[in-house]
């Protein structure tokens, strides 16, 4: 048990032992995103883990961009990733680091491997390489270039670097074991030729290191002690260790793997998320329906709720799928406790109080939060014409409908009890207005005649209301596991994932709603102001209750 008395995970245990035995003087971890897309909720787990362990053990965590695939990377992604990590509440050690800063050192180490007889330049074509590689049932065959003299490989490596060889015509490979049961050890490629510009190094390099050649060496240069990655890298570990042992690297980091975070109804693959963005299915990486950190933020999720999900999901070594309801629970619970309440009418219907003077305005007061006196009270103007929700009125209804019905009473939240008299209709028979009367002396009191109201509805004062637009969201996918099996995730999109409402009315104070702050619109859910729109637009963060009913607090 740690000092907080929470159960510890296997990584905390390993590090704790390493610290106690003196093997680890100071913990150094790293978070190594590739800048080829925005961070998503799965990355948040790795971030919370790496930065969290560093905090817990008084160590440091580096942010290192694994920018070894120039075609897919960009400065936009570098900037977005830094913004998101900082927003999640974590601070990396010193400046952000880049794999590309180490390209010179990596190249020297590659030459070292060649001189030691541990790497060679191979000129098999892609097709031949596949053939020579074998598969899980067949061992591979040695490349005919495997035993060429080191001098020849060094010369070719220089030519590769200087752009004298065409893409695909040669690669640098480690000389390990073509019959290994671990495919990663069958003379893996260390450098490939790419005649493309890099977002950081421009046109300096015509060759780029593979993930395997770069990762462990970068860890070593940075003095990373515990290099934590997801389970799919388990089979790469022997290569990670082989490379570190074969080169004069400054330190010996160790790799540890944990299970990635999977959420149902959610895609956590940058490639697929990018396809959604590129096809225009969503409005950018920060579309509020996206499981990206930027999307969740725009939707009104808080860093705290995201960290809480990562905490609840735990750190294990077996793959599992977490219910999206758990993330929804985390934000709903937080907003329930902290979000100021206000009123907003989504689909407005005019209510005219026929016995209320035309020139009169009262000021009603209501608590910002029903259980939080510390949050104080808000004031709401009240006058003859109000907006109520269309669905809160019916001409006739049975007893189950505890809202406004002709001849019946309802309480207006924080204001009077009213009784409806008539519905005004247009030529097509649509209800355009409801006429009702206030029952005197019922603000904060029951009616003197003893006829109580059955329900409470929300409202907004018409003259002072501000007009706004509201985006309602539902899950982006209808399928629990989008894209699984032979299915195309693009075919599993929920056509109703976005409902845009215009001409909604909110309390006047919401005109100044701060971006990043969550509000409860009473009886409707939790909302936050959209950060991209110039007009007043609110995004629905989450409904008031879990529709699946699994995660109610």
Binding span for ligand ATP by CB under 6 A among 29-37, 110-118, 151-159, 443-451: 29-37
Residue 175 annotated in active site: no
Residue among 24 and 68 whose Cβ is closer to ligand ATP? 68
Nearer to ligand ATP, 29 or 528 (CB): 29
Give every CB contact of residue 454 below 8 A, 6+ residues apart in sequence.
402, 408, 409, 410
Considering the candidates 260, 274, 454, 517, report the single residue annotated as catalytic. Answer: 260
- 256 vs 527, which CB is nearer to ligand ATP? 256
Contact pattern from residue 173 through residue 212 relative to ligand ATP, giving x for each residue in contact according to CB under 6 A and a dash for the rest: ----------------------------------------
Which of 268, 342, 442, 492 forms a contact with ligand ATP (CB under 6 A)? 268
Residues 6 or more apart from 89 whose CB is under 8 A from it?
Answer: 303, 304, 307
Answer for the pair 294, 38: CB distance below 8 angstroms, yes or no.
Answer: yes
Q: Which of 24, 29, 36, 171 binds ligand ATP (CB under 6 A)?
A: 36
Q: Which stretch binds ligand ATP (CB under 6 A): 41-49, 138-146, 242-250, 540-548?
A: 41-49
Please say which residue, 32 or 188, places its beta carbon nearer to ligand ATP: 32
Could you tell me the smallest distance in angstroms from the CB atom of residue 257 to ligand ATP?
Answer: 9
Q: Which of 161, 270, 298, 409 is catalytic?
A: 270
Binding flag, residue 225, ligand ATP (CB under 6 A): no
Nearer to ligand ATP, 229 or 276 (CB): 229
Half-sphere exposure of 468 (CA within 13 A, CB side): 29
Enter the tokens of residue 292.
Answer: 């990206």
Angle formed at CA 462 by CA 456 and CA 468, multiple of 5 degrees? 95
**237 SS3 class:** helix
Is 46 a residue that touches ligand ATP (CB under 6 A)?
yes
- The values of phi and psi at residue 381, to 5°, are -65, 150
Q: How many residues belong to the site for ligand ATP (CB under 6 A)?
A: 15
Does 229 interact with ligand ATP (rule: CB under 6 A)?
yes
* Contact residues for 531 (Cβ-Cβ < 8 A; gap 6+): 297, 298, 515, 516
270 binds ligand ATP (CB under 6 A): yes
Return the SS3 of 525: strand
CA end-to-end span of the chain: 26
Contacts with 257 (C-beta within 8 Å, 6 or more apart), sequence order? 228, 229, 230, 231, 233, 234, 237, 317
Which range in 31-39, 83-91, 319-327, 536-544 contacts ligand ATP by CB under 6 A? Answer: 31-39
Answer yes or no whether residue 45 interacts with ligand ATP by CB under 6 A.
Answer: yes
Rg (CA), the chain: 31
Count of C-beta atoms within a 10 Å radius of residue 157: 23
**Which strands, in side-by-side order, build the sheet including 171-174?**
119-122, 171-174, 189-193, 207-209
Find the shortest distance in angstroms from Cβ 396 to ligand ATP.
Answer: 53
d(CA 497, CA 473): 5
Vertex 347 angle, CA 346 and 353, to 5°: 105
Considering only 12, 38, 42, 415, the residue that binds ligand ATP (CB under 6 A) is 42
Please say if 260 is a catalytic residue. Answer: yes
Give the nearest residue (CB) to ligand ATP.
Answer: 42
**Closest separation between CB of residue 69 and ligand ATP, Å?**
9
Q: Does 34 bind ligand ATP (CB under 6 A)?
A: yes
Among the listed ranges 153-161, 268-276, 340-348, 529-537, the one in contact with ligand ATP (CB under 6 A) is 268-276
Map residue 335 onto helix, strand or coil. Answer: helix
Q: Is 52 in the site for ligand ATP (CB under 6 A)?
A: no
- Among positions 32, 340, 348, 518, the unique one binding ligand ATP when judged by CB under 6 A: 32
Distance CA 362, CA 386 (A): 13
Among 24, 29, 43, 63, binds ligand ATP (CB under 6 A): 43
The residues binding ligand ATP (CB under 6 A) are 32-34, 36, 42-43, 45-46, 229-230, 260-261, 268, 270-271
Active site residues: 34, 260, 270
């Amino acid at each position: 048990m740690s000092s907080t008395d929470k159960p510890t995970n296997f990584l905390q245990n390993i590090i704790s032992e390493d610290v106690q035995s003196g093997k680890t003087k100071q913990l150094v971890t790293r978070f190594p995103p590739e800048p080829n897309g925005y961070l998503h909720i799965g990355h948040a787990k790795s971030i919370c883990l790496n930065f969290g362990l560093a905090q817990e053990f008084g160590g440091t965590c580096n942010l290192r961009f694994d920018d070894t695939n120039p075609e897919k990377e960009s400065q936009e992604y570098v900037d977005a990733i830094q913004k998101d990590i900082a927003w999640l509440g974590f601070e990396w050690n010193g400046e952000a680091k880049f794999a590309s800063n180490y390209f010179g050192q990596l190249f020297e180490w590659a030459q070292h491997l060649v001189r030691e007889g541990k790497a060679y330049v191979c000129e098999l074509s892609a097709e031949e390489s596949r053939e020579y590689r074998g598969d899980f049932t067949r061992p591979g065959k040695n490349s005919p270039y495997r035993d060429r003299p080191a001098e020849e490989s060094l010369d070719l490596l220089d030519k590769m670097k200087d752009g004298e060889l065409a893409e695909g015509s040669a690669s640098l490979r480690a000389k390990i074991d073509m019959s290994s049961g671990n495919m990663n050890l069958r003379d893996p490629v260390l450098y490939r030729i790419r005649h493309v510009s890099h977002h950081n190094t421009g046109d300096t390099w015509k060759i780029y290191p593979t993930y395997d050649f770069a990762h462990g060496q970068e860890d070593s240069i940075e003095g990373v002690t515990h290099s934590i990655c997801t389970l799919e890298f388990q089979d790469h570990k022997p290569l990670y260790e082989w490379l570190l042992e074969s080169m004069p690297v400054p330190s010996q980091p160790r790799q540890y793997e944990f299970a990635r975070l999977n959420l149902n109804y959610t895609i956590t693959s940058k490639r697929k998320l990018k396809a959604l963005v590129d096809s225009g299915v969503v409005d950018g990486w920060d579309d509020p329906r996206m499981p990206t950190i930027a999307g969740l933020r725009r939707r009104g999720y808080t860093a705290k709720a995201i960290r809480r999900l990562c905490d609840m999901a735990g750190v294990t070594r077996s793959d599992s799928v977490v219910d999206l309801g758990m993330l929804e629970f985390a934000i709903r619970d937080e907003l329930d406790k902290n979000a100021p309440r206000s009123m907003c009418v989504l689909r407005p219907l005019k209510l005219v109080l026929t016995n209320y003077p035309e020139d009169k305005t009262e000021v009603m007061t209501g608590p910002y939060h029903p259980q939080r006196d510390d949050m104080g009270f808000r004031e709401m103007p009240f006058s003859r014409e109000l907006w109520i929700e269309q669905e809160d009125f019916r001409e006739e209804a049975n007893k189950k409908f505890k809202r406004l019905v002709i001849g019946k009473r309802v309480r207006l939240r924080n204001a009077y009890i009213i009784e409806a008299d008539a519905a005004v209709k247009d030529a097509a028979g649509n209800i355009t207005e409801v006429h009702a009367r206030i029952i005197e002396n019922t603000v904060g009191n029951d009616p003197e005649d003893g006829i109580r109201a059955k329900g409470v509805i929300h409202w907004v004062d018409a003259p002072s209301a501000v007009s706004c637009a509201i985006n309602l969201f539902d899950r982006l996918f209808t399928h629990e596991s989008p894209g699984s099996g032979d299915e195309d995730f693009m075919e599993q999109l929920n056509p109703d994932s976005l409902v845009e409402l215009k001409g909604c009315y909110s309390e006047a104070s919401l005109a100044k709603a701060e971006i990043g702050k969550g509000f409860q619109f009473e009886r409707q859910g939790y909302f936050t102001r959209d950060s991209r729109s110039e007009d007043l637009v609110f995004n629905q963060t989450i409904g008031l209750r879990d529709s699946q009913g699994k995660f109610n607090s």
